[in-house]
Structure 1
């Protein structure tokens, strides 16, 4: 639990807190105050930040859906092939081996291993097709159509998963959010000092500094959360998709 709480802390957090403190005392020293329209700041920072977090979350949810379909279709393909009358035990075992290796290869690809490519995944489609072609005379039309359809659905889901893994939320938008988060103390602090100074002068130092740090920390924490859920497959974050939960068991295939 403690590790999960502190997972939002990184060098960005340290920098933004140090900046907030430094900016506060600098502006306090030079007595810089001004009035800022915070509706504009909200649009400039909060809206893009929420957009990127929502995009990363939707990506994670779509991944769960594609993984569930992928797993189910692998089992379905094996069941269709295994139910065809006349197919040898050796060929059934060969298809099981192909599907298990396909799953392992696909998961390694999603985790970001440089040794694995989407081209390598596509080669498994050829292996399945060749094995089906070898036994094509034993299939009736319904079985043949089902076999081809399910195979295509398996690889369509892998392509979708690979697309999600390799294309995240726009990098330019995330960079924009980070720049404005770092600019936030420079814009927000003078107005906050001015507002609190006129109403609670006795506690202005503690309250002004506390608010500046709190809001800056909240913004950078949200940015860090977005970064952690951006890639749901790398198995580095606490909220990553648990790929091991989707692994096939020997008795299932």
Structure 2
């Protein structure tokens, strides 16, 4: 792993917000020490107002990511099943049919990737493109597979695979659309920004026991930990956006390449 990759990962959770909140908390501590404003605030307030809601949100976002991963694997599995049906269920499978099925699946997964990696405001427009691809697959099953002699029962099975792809796509789309509770996220953001600053009197009180060289380590560390937790939760919110390290990568070309003839 190169140094640039390591630094890029670090800056995913330590960003401008971390710097601003850290500087403001250090400034607050400095002013409180300068003017003798000290207080022994309870740390349970930080645990209640920040740590618990953020950890709850991270846990919820991670579960949504795991659900999205399951739905994406279902999409791939049923897509491959359709391709194998085209390849193996016909007595004499034309190469043109296999090529067309690959093209249709590639187009479908390309549009799905485009939908999930773009702004949620464009979901309706992008969703229409996905369903046009689904419609093309449905027509292919009826016209090409049935037209080449696939038995009606096996055509019905292919349509079942397609319907299960519909369900998996809709489930993944709802995970993309509906995030963890927004009011809880807003609540956490407010207190993450304010509490390290409002706790200046506490840091000033604690600094009485420290040497001058480490006076501002505590407020800086508090800000770093709290804002970093918030950034981790932000990156987990949309598991398809390709920003965080834990996002789901939709590799269309790799999927198509693994559709062996």
Structure 1 runs of 4+ with >6 Å offset? none
Aligned to 2:224: 217
Across the two proteins, how many residue pairs are aligned to each other?
249
Q: Aligned ranges for residues 48-197 of structure 1 at < 5 Å?
A: 48-82=53-87, 83-85=89-91, 88-112=94-118, 114=122, 117-134=126-143, 135-136=145-146, 138-197=149-208
Residue segments in structure 2 that go unaligned for 5+ positions in a row: 1-5
The alignment's C-alpha RMSD in Å is 2.5
With normalisation by structure 2, the TM-score equals 0.84
Cα pair 1:67 1:246 within 8 Å, conserved = no
Distance 1:225 1:249 in 2: 32
CA distances 1:217-242 after superposition (whole Å, capped 9, x unpaired): 11011111222232222223333222
| CA pair 162-52 structure 1, distance change in 2 beyond 3 A | same
Q: Aligned ranges for residues 19-58 of structure 1 at < 5 Å?
A: 19-58=24-63
With normalisation by structure 1, the TM-score equals 0.86
Distance 2:206 2:19 in 1: 26
Moved more, 85-94 or 163-172: 85-94
Residue segments in structure 1 that go unaligned for 5+ positions in a row: none
Cα pair 2:112 2:130 within 8 Å, conserved = yes
